[in-house]
Amino acid sequence: MKNIFLLCLFLFGSILVSCKKDKDDPKPTTGSIKATATPAGAATNMRLTRDNTTIEIAPNSSGVFQADNLQAGNYSVTFTPEIGYQGPPASNITVTAGNTTDMGTIGFVQPGSQFIGTMSASVNGKTWNSALHGGTVDGSGMGLTISGAAVSLTGTTETIMLNLPNITGLGTYSAPFDASAVYMVASITGTPLTWVSGSNCTITITNIDQVEQKISGTFSFTANPAPGSSASGNKTVTNGTFTNLVIQ
């Protein structure tokens, strides 16, 4: 009987110790986001937005941003570039409790050349090759415009503009809410003619190089004459591609 009593006492004590340990070591409820800007000093802060609440984090001397004690969930992350630099569009980052989500190296560039990369398409069956092209991030850090211009020997410029109002990363964006496009023809003497996409516009982002600040993808759309424009007929744009365009 004495041995049974001691065994029960030991088991009861073990349960108490286990319960106390559970109370002393609660499961984590927060996580962290980390990112490294290159070159160091190219960004002044990292902005994290969730549920209409924004947190701003300053970098250390090595250009490392670290936001701790974040509630688990999805955050929109943007960076404010230093004067003379341009950063990437917003990223959607998921924070999990007890973990640090490392975004890796985020590249910031000074205004890049519009001759870098390639952009081409077929417009009503005719080959269109851009001579000047690039991507531009809007003031919110969420929207991206990709544009290219083909210039003929006669001085006529044919421009294609692709608009992504809320880019969240790689993937396919479609009209009418997530993608739109404009096709414009301008000559030295004539009035510019403009066509705009309606419900038929698809833009696919296949690669975003955060370090080199370059973007690649494909596109297609059908454009109708814009209100107030003297343009006529439709423009069917197919086989559109852009490769390694500099994001500014």
Mean pLDDT over 225-229 rounds to 90
Place of tokens 């800007």: 37
pLDDT tens for each residue of 28-68: 889 999 988 877 888 899 999 999 899 999 999 888 999 99
Q: How far is residue 82's CA from residue 247's CA, in Å, rounded to a whole number? A: 16
Q: Name every residue whose Cβ is closer than 8 Å to that of residue 167 and which is 6 or more positions away in sequence.
A: 89, 90, 142, 143, 144, 173, 205
Q: What is the CA radius of gyration of the chain?
A: 26
Task: Report yes or no on 187 lying in a domain.
Answer: yes
In the sheet with 100-107, reading across from the earlier edge strand, the strands are 64-71, 30-38, 100-107
pLDDT at residue 114, as a whole number: 58
Task: Report yes or no on 112 lying in a domain.
Answer: no
Mean pLDDT over 5-27 rounds to 51
Mean pLDDT over 1-9 rounds to 46
> Does 150 lie in the same domain as 75?
no
pLDDT at residue 54, as a whole number: 93
> Does 152 lie in the same domain as 200?
yes
Its domain, for residue 136, covers: 118-246
Domain count, the chain: 2
> Does 196 lie in the same domain as 103?
no
CATH of the domain at 41: 2.60.40.1120
> Does 133 lie in the same domain as 103?
no
> Does 101 lie in the same domain as 140?
no
Q: How far is residue 208's CA from residue 126's CA, in Å, rounded to a whole number? A: 28
Q: How far is residue 162's CA from residue 181's CA, in Å, rounded to a whole number? A: 5
What is the three-class DSSP state of 199? strand
pLDDT tens for each residue of 196-214: 998 899 999 999 988 788 8
Q: Which of 9, 45, 28 is nearest to 141 (CA)?
A: 45
Question: 23-37, 53-67, 71-85, 173-187: lowest mean pLDDT where?
Answer: 23-37
> Does 159 lie in the same domain as 90?
no
Task: Report yes or no on 168 lying in a domain.
Answer: yes
Alpha carbon of residue 58 to chain centroid? 21
Instruction: Give the C-alpha distances (Å, rounded to integers) separating 218 from 162, 172, 173.
Output: 10, 9, 11
pLDDT tens for each residue of 110-166: 665 556 889 999 999 999 999 888 887 776 667 888 999 998 877 788 999 999 998
The first and second tokens of residue 177, run together, are: 């809410």
Beta strands 30-38 and 100-107 are: parallel
Q: Which helix (H) or strand (E) element contains residue 132?
A: strand 132-137
Q: Which residue, 83, 107, 131, sits at the end of a domain?
A: 107
Q: Which residue, 55, 86, 107, sits at the end of a domain?
A: 107
Which pLDDT band holds residue 102 (cuts at 50, 70, 90)? confident
Task: Report yes or no on 69 lying in a domain.
Answer: yes
Task: Report yes or no on 138 lying in a domain.
Answer: yes
> Does 136 lie in the same domain as 176?
yes
Q: What is the number of other CB atoms lying within 10 angstroms of the CB of residue 213?
A: 23
pLDDT at residue 10, as a whole number: 46
pLDDT at residue 191, as a whole number: 76
> Does 130 lie in the same domain as 99?
no
What is the three-class DSSP state of 122? strand
